[in-house]
Structure 1
Amino acid sequence: MPTRLVLDCDTGTDDAVAIMAAVGHPDLDLLAVTTVNGNVPLPRVTENTLRALDVVGAPVPVHAGAPRPLLRPDFPIPRDELNGRDPDFQPASLDLPPARSRVASHEAVRFLVDFFRDDAHDDVTLVATAPLTNVALALSVAPDLRDRIPRLVLMGGGVAGGNVTAAAEFNLWVDPEAARIVLEAGIRDVTILPLDATQSVPLTLADCDALDALGTPGAVAAARLVRHRIEHDPDEERAAAFGPCAPVHDALCVAALVDPGVVTESVTCPVTVETSSDRTLGALLLDRRSWTTDPPNATVALRADRDRYLAFLTDALGGRAV
């Protein structure tokens, strides 16, 4: 039976690839998508999500969620003041045809509560590739969801360092209080794909050519989005080994559902998120001391297998046409 999942995302370029891959892979069944403020403001996130689904002809319901962080009026610093970010890296509107489908009437938090309280969904994985505002709000409204969500897989954090600050990765930095609530809620099975894992499997221009050659709407769209990432946020550190390349973070979460072996190194330990220090706000904190008395609450991926990731994307994006 396919793995059933709900995606919670802030659709920029890599979320869009994750959405299209989740639709296209025969071993996955995407039941719904919830959207949250993050890469771009919420209305654009929702429109981008609908565009990605329309490209692959998937009538998956989309529920719009939180327009701002849980406790803060906005990002810790304004979006347009983020140092080092190419303003065109996450375009407000993805380079995909305007959406034909429409957003569902139920808002995201209410949907998540009702969905995971339904016994018919006791096998559904929640995959979060965005700031965790929606998930934190759902847990705050319905604390019993900690026992109703069977598995949470999320993209966030960086063990070796961040991509917004020296310590923090974007998703956790945008809403650190929400991230801390989610990680400390007691969900029984939590897997985190941080920058350490996602940056170990960058995609290249040659990979984009291979996706183009598949010829399906999803593969061609994904190739265009990945080329945009390589142009506007190249991975200079890995360019010597791979040529021009960039990580496509979020789709690795979906790949791990189908092929757990795509993660080649991980650690299970107590994990939380820093919420107070200016310099380390949003940092993912792992306690790997052998004598810690805190119970482990997450498995954190540290490295991944690029060949297996590419095989997943080929299978997911190569077989669906409209």
Structure 2
Amino acid sequence: MTVRFVLDCDTGSDDAIAILAAAGHPGLELAAVTTVNGNVAVEHATDNTLRALDLAGARVPVHAGAARPLVRPDLPVPRAVLNKDSAFQKHGLGLPEAVSAAREGHAAPFLAAYFTDPAHAGDTLVATGPLTNIALALALEPRLVERIARLVVMGGAHGNGNVTAAAEFNFWADPEAAEAVLSAGLREVVIVPLDATHSAPLTGADCAALEALGTPGALASAQLVRHRLDHDRASASHDPSSPVHDPMCVAYLVRPDLFTEAVAAHVAVETAGARTTGQLLVDTRPWRDEPANATVALRAAPEVYREFLHEALG
């Protein structure tokens, strides 16, 4: 049975792989893509998205969304400062220039209209960037709390973060939006934090296996993973490996056996901490006051992740 979903993303290298995999997997129907400020500015995220879709030969509507966080004027540390010495997210991602164009209309009202349409009952929303667009859509249309059948989010960390010791980038980039979405009362929320994505990293051998598939999507994905490996190589004391976060959310839609450890918990996001802004709080205490509002994946099966990528990109 095909799983139909909308992808909300801030397309850098791992979002692009998620797009290529979504377009190629026979069990997935990518209905639309919305873009948001995050890894890169929203206009670059939109261009990168169009490049990935064109490479995949996928005619999927794209709507650009929020150019800044929900409340803050910029990221907690502005991107120009945060990434001043980094070429981790290179412009264009090395993909051919796009020939398609984004649709008219902001992502937030598009999401509100899409998920209130009875024809889309049961569709999933996957978010692999900051949750700004989704928070805006929920504010525009409160009925989305009941209309979105399932939200799968790449974000947060139960253990250490990556942009700070406490926080993962997506939740850190717009903590107010993340808290608004996770506290909204959505019917089903699955969170894929760094704990899960770091448990199934990809290596140079995985890139070679993708290259052997020979398809445009597999070759582009291998190139994008190699770029991530090269970025991490300087600090690696052994053959480098790199977590490729965002495609895990897409993989989970057709391979629910991907996650080998998960917990039902009450989750929240810190918005005011001096050192903990953007931290995901995962409360599994049996005596907690609040009921569980999300399932949090903690560990993934590397072999299942590789199988999904090969099936989707081959």
- Normalized against structure 1, the TM-score is what? 0.95
Cα shift at 1:144: 1.0
Q: Which aligned runs of 4 or more in structure 1 are off by greater than 6 angstroms? A: none
- 1:126 partner letter: L
Cα shift at 1:161: 1.1
Which residue number corresponds to residue 131 of structure 1?
A: 130
Are 2:138 and 1:142 equivalent residues in the alignment? no
The 3 A distance-change label for structure 1 pair 35 and 77 is same
Instruction: Give the Cα–Cα distance (whole angstroms) in 1 for the partners of residues 198 and 225 of structure 2.
Output: 14
Cα shift at 1:234: 4.8
The 3 A distance-change label for structure 1 pair 252 and 172 is same
Are 2:147 and 1:151 equivalent residues in the alignment? no
1:206-256 Cα shifts (integer Å, max 9, x gaps):
10011011010000000000000111135967x75xx32111000000111
Instruction: Give the Cα–Cα distance (whole angstroms) in 2 for the partners of residues 197 and 255 of structure 1.
Output: 13
Match of 1:308 among 285, 304, 307: 304
Instruction: Give the Cα–Cα distance (whole angstroms) in 2 for the partners of residues 235 and 214 of structure 1.
Output: 28
Which residue number corresponds to residue 37 of structure 1?
A: 37
Instruction: Give the Cα–Cα distance (whole angstroms) in 2 for the partners of residues 143 and 233 of structure 1.
Output: 42
The answer to which of 273-282 and 88-97 deviates more is 88-97
Instruction: Give the Cα–Cα distance (whole angstroms) in 1 for the partners of residues 175 and 188 of structure 2.
Output: 20
Which residue number corresponds to residue 191 of structure 1?
A: 190
Cα shift at 1:86: 5.5
- Long gaps (5+) in structure 2: none
- 2:251 partner letter: A
Instruction: Give the Cα–Cα distance (whole angstroms) in 1 for the partners of residues 69 and 171 of structure 2.
Output: 11
- Long gaps (5+) in structure 1: none
Q: Secondary structure at the match of 2:125?
A: strand
Cα shift at 1:288: 1.3
- 1:286 partner letter: V
Count of matched residue positions in the alignment of Structure 1 and Structure 2: 314
Q: Secondary structure at the match of 2:60?
A: coil
Which residue number corresponds to residue 291 of structure 2?
A: 295
Identical-residue share of aligned pairs (%)? 61
1:151-186 Cα shifts (integer Å, max 9, x gaps):
000000011110000000000000000000000000
Which residue number corresponds to residue 204 of structure 1?
A: 203
Instruction: Give the Cα–Cα distance (whole angstroms) in 2 for the partners of residues 69 and 221 of structure 1.
Output: 30
Instruction: Give the Cα–Cα distance (whole angstroms) in 1 for the partners of residues 38 and 250 of structure 2.
Output: 19
The 3 A distance-change label for structure 1 pair 229 and 129 is same
Is the Cα contact below 8 Å between 1:86 and 1:233 reproduced in 2? no
- 2:257 partner letter: G
- 1:90 partner letter: Q
CA-atom RMSD in angstroms: 1.3
Instruction: Give the Cα–Cα distance (whole angstroms) in 2 for the partners of residues 278 and 58 of structure 1.
Output: 44
Q: Secondary structure at the match of 1:302?
A: strand
- 1:143 partner letter: P
Q: Secondary structure at the match of 1:29?
A: strand
Instruction: Give the Cα–Cα distance (whole angstroms) in 2 for the partners of residues 235 and 55 of structure 1.
Output: 31
Instruction: Give the Cα–Cα distance (whole angstroms) in 2 for the partners of residues 186 and 234 of structure 1.
Output: 42
Give runs of aligned pairs for residues 52-71 of structure 1, distance below 5 A.
52-71=52-71
Is the Cα contact below 8 Å between 2:10 and 2:42 reproduced in 1? yes
- 1:210 partner letter: A
Instruction: Give the Cα–Cα distance (whole angstroms) in 2 for the partners of residues 278 and 112 of structure 1.
Output: 33
- Normalized against structure 2, the TM-score is what? 0.98
Is the Cα contact below 8 Å between 2:14 and 2:247 reproduced in 1? yes
Q: Secondary structure at the match of 1:105?
A: coil
Q: Secondary structure at the match of 1:153?
A: strand
- 2:300 partner letter: A
Instruction: Give the Cα–Cα distance (whole angstroms) in 1 for the partners of residues 26 and 45 of structure 2.
Output: 26
Cα shift at 1:292: 0.6
Instruction: Give the Cα–Cα distance (whole angstroms) in 2 for the partners of residues 114 and 176 of structure 1.
Output: 25
Is the Cα contact below 8 Å between 1:157 and 1:194 reproduced in 2? yes
Is the Cα contact below 8 Å between 2:232 and 2:240 reproduced in 1? no
Which residue number corresponds to residue 13 of structure 1?
A: 13
Is the Cα contact below 8 Å between 1:64 and 1:108 reproduced in 2? yes
Instruction: Give the Cα–Cα distance (whole angstroms) in 1 for the partners of residues 82 and 166 of structure 2.
Output: 14
Give runs of aligned pairs for residues 1-322 of structure 1, distance below 5 A.
1-82=1-82, 87-234=86-233, 240=238, 243-318=239-314
Instruction: Give the Cα–Cα distance (whole angstroms) in 2 for the partners of residues 235 and 143 of structure 1.
Output: 47
Cα shift at 1:80: 2.8
The 3 A distance-change label for structure 1 pair 234 and 124 is farther
Instruction: Give the Cα–Cα distance (whole angstroms) in 1 for the partners of residues 157 and 301 of structure 2.
Output: 18
